[in-house]
Copies of this chain bind each other. A is one copy, B any other.
Amino acid sequence: MENYLWRIGGPQGSGIDRAALLFSRLCAKQGLYVLARREYHSNITGRHSYSDVRIGTQPVLSHSASPRMLVCLDAESVCRHVHNVLSTGYLIYDSHIADTHLSQLKLLDPLLLENLCKPLQKANLNCNIRELLNLAEQHGITPIAMDYETLFQRLRDEFAIPKTNAERSRNVIAVAISAALLGLTSEDVCHEVAEIFHNKPEAVALNSEAVQLAYDYVATLGINVLQPFANVEVARDDRLWVNGVQSVALGKLAAGLGIQTYYPISPATDESVFLESNYVVPMNDATHAGPVIIQTEDELAAITMACGAALTGARAATSTSGPGFSLMVEGLGWAGMTETPVVVSLYQRGGPATGLPTRTEQGDLQFVLHAGHGEFPRIVLASGDVEECFYDAFRAFNYAERYQLPVIHLLDKNLASTAQTLPPFVTDDLVIDRGEILHTADSSRHASRFLLSKNGISPRPLLEESRQIFWTSGVEHNETGHVSESPEVRRRMKEKREAKLVLAAKEIPLDEKIGVYGDRQASLMLISWGSNKGAILEAIDRMNQENRPIQAIMVKLLWPFPARELEMLVKSNKKLILLECNQTGQFSQLFRQELGCNINHRLLKYNGRPFVVEELVQSLTSIFDGTAEELMIHNNLFE
C-alpha cells in the first residue's frame, strides 16, 4: 500500500489536535504505521491550524505535501489546502461555508488571497468557496459536503444540551466521517473515543453518539466506501505512540533526571509540562522517585538554577527555544568555565527575536556552536527523528557528566509536534556514565576542583556529597578554583578545558556521530542534520527505486565535528549536496570550515515549514539529471 495522507484543518480551539490524535490512534490500532504532524499559529483561538496523519504498512518516515483526504472544519481551511489535494482525493467540508466569499476571511494573508482569487477572477467566477470547490472538482477531486448543523441538532435533541456543547463534537464527527469513508468500523472509532475521553463519561457518551450519526450520514451519501487499508499486511507487535517532546522527556527520565528548570516557551513548554505531570516515576526496585520541575522567572534563572543543581550531583537540564536560549548564553559559558555538566534541550523555531514561535527552522546551529562570549568546550548533538530524541536525550547526560561540560541537544518545532508509531525503546543496553566523580575516601580537606590532567578531566567533587569542600568559579582560576590572572595558569586551564573535546571526539562511537544511509556506491552524496532525516530517507529510497542512487549522511554530533569521519566518506569523486532548513546554509558553512571541500548543491528551505518528500525528490532528480542550480530553495506557496 502506498502511504495515505489524511489532513484536517480548522480554527485553533476547534479540536484539530484531538481529531488527529483520534484518527492516528485509530489507524495505529489497525496495525498500521502512522506519522502525524501539526502546523499552528501563535494564537490561542481562531487562527488556522492543521494536522497531517500519514499512514502506511511500513514505518512512515516523513510527512508529505498532498493529502488524499482533506477535512476542512472551516472555509479558511479550504482556501489554504484545496490546491494540495491529490487529484484523486477527497475534500470534506461543511456545507454551510459554500457561499462564503473569500474576502470575508479576515485571517487569510493578502498574498494567499490574491493567489486564490486570480484564477477565479480570470475565469469570471465568484471568489467564493463554492467556486474554489468547483475548480477542484474539475481537477478530479471529490468534494463531500457535510451538514454538521443537522447532526448537532440531533445531538441537542438527544442530550438536551446547548448548541455550543453539541458543536464541540465537530472534530469527532469529522474523524468519524473520514473513518466511515475509509471503511473503518464505527466500533473501532468509538473505542478510541472512549480511550481519549476516558475520564469524562459525558464526553464519551456524546461523542460516541456523534460517531454513530456520522456513520449513518455517510451511509446516506451513496459514496463508494474506500478500502485503502483492507487486506494490507499490518504489524502485530507492540508499538509506541509518542511525539518528539515526549520522546525527549522519556529519555531524560531514563537517564535519571533530577531537576529540570524551564520558562514557558513554544514549542519547548510541552516537554516540561509533560515532565511535571510525571512527578511519580516508578523505579526498578518498586520504589518511586521523581524529578523536580521548576518554572522559573526567566531563562537566565533557568540555566543558572540548573547549574546550581548540577553542582550537587543532580542530573540537571533545562528546555527552551530560541529566545530563551538567547538569554542562557552567559550561563552556558559559566557551565563551560566551571566544567559543570548541564543539558539544554533546544527546540528551534523561526527566529530571530520572537520570529515565528510555532514554525520550524534550523536557524540556531551556528549560534549554538558559538553561543556565549569567550571560548569554552561544549557538545552539540542533533536528533534526526522522534526515536532518536529518546536515545539522544539519554546520552546527553552521559556526555555532560563524562566530559564535564554543557551539552546542547538540538531539536526543533518539527520534531516537537511530530508523533509516530515506534518500536518500544530498547532500554536494556542503556548505561549511565557519570564520569569521574571525586570520592570521599580522600582525606585532605580541599578538593582540587580543577586539577590539571592530560586528558583535561579533573575528578569532580559534589557539594556536600564528596565531603571535601571545594571552590569553583566563573572567573579564570587555578587548580583549587581560586581566581588567577597569571598568563601561564590561563593558558594551561584553557588547554585543559579544550582537551576534553579531543577526548570526546576520540571516545564517542561512530554511530553516535553520523548515520550513513542509501547506496554507498552512489556518486551523489546528500549530507544533512536534524529533523530533515525522515524526508531524506524517504526521498533517497524513492530515488534509489527509480535507479537514481544517492547516499545520505546524517550528522548527529555537530560539535566536536566529526571531520575526520566525514573525510573518509566524502570521496573527491562524489557530488556533495547539503540540505538544511535555514537561509544562510549554516551547516554548509560549518562543513566547509571543517572539511575545506567544495559543495556542489545546497538545498535550503526557510519559510517556517519543514522539507517535504515530494519536492525533495524533484530537486534530487534534477541534480541527478544535471539540470539543477547550485542553490535550490524550497517553498510553500499555499498552506
Contact = CB atoms under 8 A, between A and B. Distances in A.
Interface of A: 41-42, 109-112, 300, 321-323, 325-327, 329-330, 333-334, 336-338, 348, 350-359, 361, 363-364, 366-367, 369-376, 473-476, 478, 483-491, 494-495, 498, 582-584, 586, 589-590, 592-593, 596-598, 606-609, 633, 635-637, 639
Given A334-B352, A593-B589, A593-B593, A488 B637 contact: yes
A361 B353 CA distance: 29
Residue with the highest number of chain B CB atoms closer than 10 Å, among A488, A592, A597:
A488
A300 B478 CA distance: 31
A608 B374 CA distance: 11
28 contacts: A42-B475, A111-B486, A112-B486, A322-B374, A326-B329, A329-B371, A336-B353, A338-B353, A348-B373, A350-B374, A351-B372, A353-B374, A354-B473, A355-B475, A355-B476, A364-B373, A366-B369, A366-B370, A375-B586, A487-B636, A487-B637, A488-B635, A488-B637, A490-B607, A490-B608, A495-B583, A498-B584, A589-B593
A341 B321 CA distance: 26
A355 B489 CA distance: 12
A567 to B, nearest CB: 14
Contacts of A582: 375
A323 B358 CA distance: 30
Contact of A476 (B300, B356, B370, B639): B356
Contacts of A478: 109-110
B490 A606 contact: yes
A475 B353 contact: yes
Given A110-B478, A374-B353, A596 B592 contact: yes
Contacts of A586: 375
Contacts of A637: 487-488
B352 A486 contact: no
A353 B487 contact: no
A333 B582 CA distance: 16
B355 A485 contact: no
A26 B325 CA distance: 51
A195 to B, nearest CB: 33
Q: How many copies does the complex hold?
A: 2
B488 A42 contact: no
Contacts of A109: 478, 484, 486, 488-489
Contact of A374 (B355, B476, B498, B609): B355
Nearest to A370: B366
Contacts of A356: 475-476, 485, 490
Contacts of A336: 352-353
Contacts of A608: 476, 485, 487, 490
Nearest to A320: B373
Given A109-B486, A355-B337, A355-B374, A476 B350 contact: yes
A352 B370 contact: no
Nearest to A322: B373
Nearest to A39: B485
A370 B353 CA distance: 14
A491 B355 contact: no
B326 A635 contact: no
A142 to B, nearest CB: 27
Contacts of A489: 109, 111
Contacts of A41: 485
Contacts of A494: 583, 606-607
A373 B325 contact: yes
A330 B327 contact: yes
A64 to B, nearest CB: 16
A231 B317 CA distance: 69
| Ranked 5 nearest A-B pairs via Cβ | A351-B374, A322-B373, A333-B352, A353-B474, A352-B374
A108 to B, nearest CB: 9
Given A109-B484, A351-B372, 10 more contacts: A322-B374, A323-B330, A327-B327, A334-B353, A336-B352, A352-B372, A375-B583, A498-B583, A589-B593, A592-B596
Residue with the highest number of chain B CB atoms closer than 10 Å, among A363, A373, A637:
A373
B330 A490 contact: no
A352 B375 contact: yes
Nearest to A330: B326
Contacts of A371: 329, 367, 370-371
A498 B42 CA distance: 24
B351 A607 contact: no
Nearest to A327: B330
Contacts of A498: 583-584
Contacts of A598: 596
Nearest to A495: B583
Residue with the highest number of chain B CB atoms closer than 10 Å, among A337, A358, A370:
A370
A366 B373 CA distance: 9
Nearest to A480: B110
A353 to B, nearest CB: 3
Nearest to A337: B353
Contacts of A376: 351-352
A42 B353 CA distance: 34
